[in-house]
Chains A and B, each alone.
Chain A
Amino acid sequence: MRLNEKYFNALMIAGLLALPLWAVVADQPFTITLVTRAVILALAAVGLNIILGIGGMVSFGHAVFFGIGGYAMGILAYHAQTYTALDLGPFSTDGTKSMPVIWLVAMILSGLVAFFIGLLSLRTSGVYFIMITLAFGQMFFYFAISWAQYGGEDGLSIYVRNDFPGLNTLAPIQFYGICFTLLCVVLFLFARLQASPFGLALNAARQTPTRVETVGLNPMRLKLLAFVLSGAITGLAGALFADLNRFVSPTMFSWQLSGELIVLIIIGGVGRLMGPVIGACVFVALEHFLGELTDFWHVYLGVVLLCIVLFGRGGLIGLLTGKEGVHV
């Protein structure tokens, strides 16, 4: 039996609503934390899906933006909680504990860094693009390790979760509500973007870059804009992830995380609206349930990935709906 993709997407959203509500009733706060983790990883992967799924760019350094979002949250919250000034040369600030402000800073910083990384890396393609993005990822990773002021290799702990007006963010279900809402907003924007002239042109640039130029579109500019949007969304996810754990560390910049983001998009379905969401749910479920049984749960993840790559080119959604995904 083949599922209609729209129904499947609706089912996923309903599931993401029902499971935490059940956890509240059953008094299982850890389940809410697990689903929150899946939702945040899904958010980061939706950001990556813009360039991977629509634009066909395999970025192996997307953790850079996740880490920047995380550190933006960590540094602002650290200064706000320790009542120390954050000296930024011409001006200084006391930091902030306000989530919306932190998200805005995280997105702007990630977007700016994405702009500069994109400007250099998008001049290449294929394996060179992968290597350049990986190199940037490693640069930020080692910079974070050596940044002693903010914990260096040990990372930085934030003792109290940041504030959101009108909500108790320390209550798992309320923090989950924030993350779920942001995921829904970003999914809506992704769907609109994919069907917009910009999304279609980006898709066309993935298929035949030279032909796109003959219809008056600049593939470099299209890809750069997509890269910046993608980086900003992944940065937002990084800020939420740091708030979830109340901890930031250089591992948020690691190439393993970049790889995991790609893996969970492939599991769900590259270029699919809900591909990153189902991928993140499967990833977190495997990490939790298999992780309890063995430290080597990645082996089983590898088997799942292998089966999907070999037998379901459109990821799990492709298998369930019978539609092949995009060719990257």
Chain B
Amino acid sequence: MTLLRIENLSASYGVSQALFGVDLEMAQGEVTALMGRNGMGKTTTVKAICRMIRSDGTLMLDGQDLHVLPSHKVARKGVGLVPEGRRCFADLTVRENLIAAARPGEWTLHRVTELFPRLGERFSQRAVSLSGGEQQMLAIGRALMTNPRLLILDEATEGLAPIVRQEIWAALHRLRQETNVAILLIDKSLKELAAVSDKAVILERGRTVWSGDITDLTPEISEKYVGV
């Protein structure tokens, strides 16, 4: 069953148009990699889904038009975002960050700390004092505490040490296996994306230029549009 349906999505920053026709479809429980070179519209697409910028075209979540909803209501409909650059609530502790975002559902403090044991060890520590990797785990945990149906991770492993990246990828594998949450992933690591994703969508200059099963993504296509 289709969870997210995007057709011919366009969006602008003032007079500068960033998206010209993005198409994307995701089913419940599916993991989709949103790929493309820098500046091709991946983060703008995420912002449009979360209603952080104005957009046009079809943008439906579970049959409901997201265009009529403000940003916080989109989140309440089940869209959880792990933003680029983490953006944890710096003055709050780990526990407080998670509680502030909590909504009823299967994801609780216990379950998040089970997924990321490191967060449990830092429960009373302020977010600002965490390492980059721990902040990233907190950002993912915070998004999960909203009990999303669609989890969006924008460059979740960027700038992290290899060992921390491994922990995050392992957590995403667990999410894929143990839950029915749909995941939209943006990341530069093609190898890890291929291991965890079911499908891929490639953007080029604000347009969807390729979409399909990740197994069908040939090195030629990837070289042409992603550069790796």
Q: Point out residues on A near B: beta carbons under 8 Å.
A: 197, 200-201, 203-204, 207-208, 210-219, 326-327
Given A213-B75, A215-B101, A216-B75, CB of A207 within 8 Å of CB of B143: no
Taking a contact as CB atoms under 8 Å apart, the answer to whether B89 and A208 are in contact is yes
Taking a contact as CB atoms under 8 Å apart, the answer to whether B146 and A216 are in contact is yes
Question: Is B190 part of the binding interface, using a Cβ–Cβ cutoff of 8 Å?
Answer: no
The 9 nearest A-B residue pairs measured at CB: A216-B75, A215-B101, A200-B100, A213-B71, A204-B89, A216-B76, A213-B72, A214-B81, A218-B72
Taking a contact as CB atoms under 8 Å apart, the answer to whether B75 and A208 are in contact is no
> Which residue in chain A gives the minimum CB-CB distance to B147?
A216
Taking a contact as CB atoms under 8 Å apart, the answer to whether B72 and A216 are in contact is yes
Interface residues of B in 64-106 (CB under 8 A from A): 70-73, 75-76, 80-81, 83, 87, 89-92, 96-97, 99-103
> Which residue in chain B gives the minimum CB-CB distance to A326?
B91
Q: How far is the CB of B215 from chain A (nearest CB, A)?
A: 32
> Which residue in chain B gives the minimum CB-CB distance to A210?
B52
Taking a contact as CB atoms under 8 Å apart, the answer to whether B87 and A215 are in contact is no
Interchain Cβ contacts under 8 Å between A and B, 21 examples: A197-B99, A200-B96, A200-B100, A203-B100, A204-B89, A207-B91, A207-B92, A208-B89, A212-B72, A213-B71, A213-B72, A214-B71, A214-B75, A215-B75, A215-B100, A216-B72, A216-B75, A216-B103, A217-B100, A217-B101, A219-B72
Question: Is B31 part of the binding interface, using a Cβ–Cβ cutoff of 8 Å?
Answer: no
Taking a contact as CB atoms under 8 Å apart, the answer to whether A211 and B83 are in contact is yes
Bitwise, B93-132 to A at CB < 8 A (1) or not (0) is 0001101111100000000000000000000000000000
Q: How far is the CB of A324 from chain B (nearest CB, A)?
A: 10
Question: Is B40 part of the binding interface, using a Cβ–Cβ cutoff of 8 Å?
Answer: no
Question: Is B142 part of the binding interface, using a Cβ–Cβ cutoff of 8 Å?
Answer: yes
Taking a contact as CB atoms under 8 Å apart, the answer to whether B71 and A203 are in contact is no
Q: Provide the bound-state CA to CA distance between A210 and B81, in Å.
A: 12
**Binding site of A, secondary structure by majority: helix, strand, loop or mixed?**
helix
Count how many chain B residues have C-beta atoms less than 8 Å from C-beta atoms of the other chain: 27
Question: Is B50 part of the binding interface, using a Cβ–Cβ cutoff of 8 Å?
Answer: yes
Q: Provide the bound-state CA to CA distance between A201 and B143, in Å.
A: 14
Report A-chain residues with C-beta under 8 Å of the C-beta of B76.
216
Taking a contact as CB atoms under 8 Å apart, the answer to whether B75 and A197 are in contact is no
Q: Provide the bound-state CA to CA distance between A184 and B228, in Å.
A: 64
Partner of A215, one of B73, B91, B92, B143: B143
> Which residue in chain A gives the minimum CB-CB distance to B100?
A200
Partner of A203, one of B73, B81, B92: B92
Q: Provide the bound-state CA to CA distance between A200 and B62, in Å.
A: 30
Bitwise, B156-184 to A at CB < 8 A (1) or not (0) is 00000000000000000000000000000
Task: Please name 10 further chain A to chain B contacts, defined as beta carbons within 8 Å, in addition to the given A203-B92, A215-B145, sorted by A numbering.
Answer: A197-B100, A207-B89, A207-B90, A211-B87, A213-B72, A214-B71, A214-B72, A215-B75, A216-B76, A216-B146
Taking a contact as CB atoms under 8 Å apart, the answer to whether B89 and A211 are in contact is yes
Among B70, B72, B87, the one with the most A-chain Cβ atoms within 10 Å of its Cβ is: B72
Taking a contact as CB atoms under 8 Å apart, the answer to whether A203 and B103 are in contact is no
Taking a contact as CB atoms under 8 Å apart, the answer to whether A215 and B142 are in contact is yes
Report A-chain residues with C-beta under 8 Å of the C-beta of B103.
216
Among B75, B100, B101, B143, the one with the most A-chain Cβ atoms within 10 Å of its Cβ is: B100
Taking a contact as CB atoms under 8 Å apart, the answer to whether A204 and B75 are in contact is no
Report B-chain residues with C-beta under 8 Å of the C-beta of A215.
75, 80, 100-101, 142-143, 145-146
> Which residue in chain A gives the minimum CB-CB distance to B78?
A216
> Which residue in chain A gives the minimum CB-CB distance to B148?
A216
Q: Provide the bound-state CA to CA distance between A282 and B102, in Å.
A: 40
Q: How far is the CB of A226 from chain B (nearest CB, A)?
A: 14
Given A197-B99, A200-B100, A204-B100, CB of A217 within 8 Å of CB of B91: no
Partner of B100, one of A201, A326, A327: A201
Q: How far is the CB of B125 from chain A (nearest CB, A)?
A: 14
> Which residue in chain B gives the minimum CB-CB distance to A204?
B89
Taking a contact as CB atoms under 8 Å apart, the answer to whether A197 and B102 are in contact is yes
Q: How far is the CB of A164 from chain B (nearest CB, A)?
A: 38
Q: How far is the CB of B46 from chain A (nearest CB, A)?
A: 10
Q: Provide the bound-state CA to CA distance between A204 and B70, in Å.
A: 18
Q: Provide the bound-state CA to CA distance between A201 and B145, in Å.
A: 13
Report A-chain residues with C-beta under 8 Å of the C-beta of B72.
212-214, 216-219
> Which residue in chain B gives the minimum CB-CB distance to A218?
B72
Q: Provide the bound-state CA to CA distance between A210 and B96, in Å.
A: 18
Q: How far is the CB of A234 from chain B (nearest CB, A)?
A: 24
Interface residues of B in 35-68 (CB under 8 A from A): 50, 52
Report A-chain residues with C-beta under 8 Å of the C-beta of B101.
215-217
Given A201-B100, A204-B100, CB of A214 within 8 Å of CB of B50: yes
> Which residue in chain B gives the minimum CB-CB distance to A217?
B72
Report A-chain residues with C-beta under 8 Å of the C-beta of B146.
215-216
Q: Provide the bound-state CA to CA distance between A46 and B36, in Å.
A: 52
Q: Provide the bound-state CA to CA distance between A238 and B148, in Å.
A: 45
